[in-house]
Amino acid sequence: MIEVETQLARVLAEACPLPSDTVPLAAAHGRVIAETVVSRYALPPWTNSAMDGYAVRSEDVASASETAPVSLEVIADLPAGTAADPVILPGQAARIMTGAPVPADADAIVPVEATDGGELRVTITAPAAPGVHIRSAGEDRQPGDALVSAGSRAGAEVLSALASAGFGRIKVARRPRVAVIATGSELVAPGEPLDRGQIPDSNSLLISSLAVEHGAELVDVVRVSDEVAELETALRGLASRCDVIVLTGGVSMGAYDPVKELLSPGEQVRFEKVAMQPGKPQGFGRLAAPWVDEGELGPLVFGLPGNPVSAWVSFLVFVRPCLRALQGASTVEDPKLSAHADVGWRTPPGRRQYLPARIRTTDAGVTVSPAAARGSGSHLVGSLADANGYAVVDASIERVQAGDVVQVVRLVSDVDARL
């Protein structure tokens, strides 16, 4: 068997970043920024008011109080969006709204709550120190300051910053084009009645949905039987249209394993036993001729186990980092957290365990427990509905005891996360 790190290194060595596209900001959500971006504008672009109130000369109101208010002439009304810059002489003020540019002659804002709200004259009952309630131009960013690093994901906050800094379009990595092939003569479409020996094809939905959640453009989802000819036809139809093809099932040592039978010759796709549970049988490689034209770069191919939990773990450990690397993401692996085990559970000897888990944050800290009542099992697909992450238990640990510190990964979709 090989180690997880060895298999992952092979995957990432082939996952070269894809070309970039320039798209409107509204179309960039969830995409990976392909270049470091610097601000075009000062942020904020002009010195503006942080409050509704009155722009004043601070020395005019230095002595203002409830018992000795100061009265000033109101010479202008400044709503947000105005370009006006009225001259404010001693003894004068301008009524101003939040976000409106502060007149050059004013150095303080008196909130409306400290006034009588007058329109021709205003009575002020509190002093205002120089600079109070004023947002200075460029205090957040100056033109040319770094704004977003290449490899960052364009979440809502990043898009807001880019728009504020003067951008309407941005260069992002092209989405990896992914196709999913579920193999198995026992598979039937979800919702169809089952005959003895048949099971619903949950892997198609599982893997295609995960791929989209992690930045992929879904090209096609195909279900094939265990007939090698049927799989070959599907692969030939997809090879020129995809960057990545993910197959589930048919990769172990059984008599009806078409993926391994079809792709093992020539070692375009290598099949390995990886020291992990679940997910020991893994296939990975890149299609070349005769699947694609001579000299063309064929798609990356993953051969994942057919049991749903094994396919889920395998996607998260190998396919997800690949999709991130293809998009040029600055981070391809998820950070691990430390959690305390709520209960004990068994671990497989000699293999690293990836256990679907419920991860909770309590007043006492982060805790973890198996998502399935029966603990670990590659067939326990119902437990995935209760999993919000997974525990990673080293191969050297014989059993997790209640209270043990365990490494966990909390799942977050790349659509909602910035890397």
State the chain's mean pLDDT as an integer.
92
Among 318, 321, 325, 226, smallest CA distance to 280 is for 318
Q: Which residues contact residue 210 at a Cβ distance below 8 angstroms, ignoring those fewer than 6 apart?
A: 312, 315, 316, 319, 320
CA distance 367 to 388: 12
Question: What average pLDDT does the segment 317-346 reach?
Answer: 95
> For 151-162, what is each residue's pLDDT tens digit?
999 999 999 999
3-state DSSP assignment of residue 1 = coil
Which pLDDT score, from 0 to 100, does residue 139 have? Answer: 96
Can you say how many angstroms the Cα of residue 415 is from the centroid of all Cα atoms in its chain? 5
Which pLDDT score, from 0 to 100, does residue 416 have? Answer: 45
Sort strands 365-370 and 337-341 into parallel, antiparallel or unpaired. parallel
DSSP 102-131: PPTT--EEEEGGGB---SSEEEE-S---TT
pTM to 2 decimals?
Answer: 0.86
Class of residue 189 by CB neighbours under 10 A (exposed 0-12, middle 13-18, buried 19+) = exposed
> For 41-81, what is each residue's pLDDT tens digit?
999 999 999 999 999 999 999 999 999 999 999 999 999 99
Strand partners, 242: none
**pLDDT higher than threshold 70 for residue 418:** no
First to last CA, the chain: 32
Name the CATH architecture for the domain at 337-410. Beta Barrel (2.40)
**pLDDT higher than threshold 90 for residue 392:** yes
Domain spanning 20-43+139-173: CATH superfamily:
Molybdopterin biosynthesis moea protein, domain 2 (3.90.105.10)
CA angle (390, 391, 394) in 5-degree steps: 140
CATH number of 48-135: 2.170.190.11
Q: Is-contact 406 351, C-beta < 8 A?
A: no
CA distances from 239 to 177, 234, 248 (A): 11, 9, 16
Q: Which residues contact residue 68 at a Cβ distance below 8 angstroms, ignoring those fewer than 6 apart?
A: none
Question: Domain residue spans in the chain?
Answer: 4-18+175-326, 20-43+139-173, 48-135, 337-410
Q: Which residues contact residue 6 at a Cβ distance below 8 angstroms, ignoring those fewer than 6 apart?
A: none
CA distance 233 to 181: 11
The CATH number of domain 4-18+175-326 is 3.40.980.10: yes
3-state DSSP assignment of residue 86 = coil
